[in-house]
Amino acid sequence: MYAFAEADDITFQLETLQSLLDPSTRMVLDSLDDPTGQEWLEIGYGLGSIARELSRRIGPIGVVHATDLDARPLAAPVDGAPIRTFPLDLRTDELPRRPYRGIHGRLVLLHIPERRAILSRLVDALEPGGVLVVEDWYCPEPPRVLACADPADEKVFTEVVAGILAELRSRGADLEWAAATRDAFVEAGLTDVRVTRSDADCAGPGLAHRLYACNARQLRSRLAESGLDDDILDRFQEVAGRPGLVTTGWRLYSTIGTKPAAG
């Protein structure tokens, strides 16, 4: 399950993810039909930035239902749709029996081994003509270092990020799932399936490198157990914060599909 669910710095991590990914998600939402007055479901809402964005777009007549393992109340924007939060484990709990006009989830299914079964249930929860939006990173390997102040920094960066990815895999994450999502949507019966891809800015010390540093702190004990010593883990924190570090980034795949109309 989610490797960071009980980690320290979780709020800082989620704030960083929002700042890094919300601009891309907003562009995806911009590409959809006007959701005014609709009911939407946000899965894995985290700190709630996209649930609030949906609320703003839907307006006061509709509703945003938002679920997470740790469900806390979210205040809706002024003149936005009410946001109703509730706890839900997508692996074991049933979705509320109501048809949603739209469902959105970001960086959720890649972490859950039961992702295809969950995808099928999300499709079932859509009303005919409803839209499903799933966003996940494609990150099968550590980013490549394009520039760094010290050649030794490249080895430190690559080894530690590789350790983070290995830990995610050990928890059931599929780091190549994003590239398979389009086919999974088609197999689940969705139509008009399309995918957009966006890359994060990875010039240091930006949001992406801040996230790597946070993840390494959160998983430090597990990374040490895997063979990374304290000197490497300490140096990684320095390397990730250096202005001279430039890397490639992980690509966010945003997959969109529509449930066929009845009849």
> What domain count does the chain have?
1
Distance CA(112)–CA(90), nearest Å, equals 9
Do the domain assignments include residue 1? Answer: no
Q: What is the CATH number of the domain that holds 200?
A: 3.40.50.150
Query: What would the pLDDT profile of 20-65 be if each residue is shown by its tens digit?
Result: 999 999 999 999 999 999 999 999 999 999 999 999 999 999 999 9
Do the domain assignments include residue 5? Answer: no
Do the domain assignments include residue 58? Answer: yes
Judge contact between 42 and 104, C-beta under 8 A.
Answer: yes
Do the domain assignments include residue 88? Answer: yes
Query: What would the pLDDT profile of 129-187 be if each residue is shown by its tens digit?
Result: 999 999 999 999 999 999 998 999 999 999 999 999 999 999 999 999 999 999 999 99
Judge contact between 105 and 2, C-beta under 8 A.
Answer: no
Do the domain assignments include residue 2? Answer: no
Of residues 86, 69, 24, 79, the one with CA closest to residue 49 = 24
| H helix or E strand, kind and range, residue 116 | helix 115-125
Do the domain assignments include residue 4? Answer: no
Where helices occur in 127-195 by DSSP H, the ranges are 151-170, 177-187
By residue range, what is the domain housing residue 49? Answer: 10-258
In this prediction the pTM is 0.95
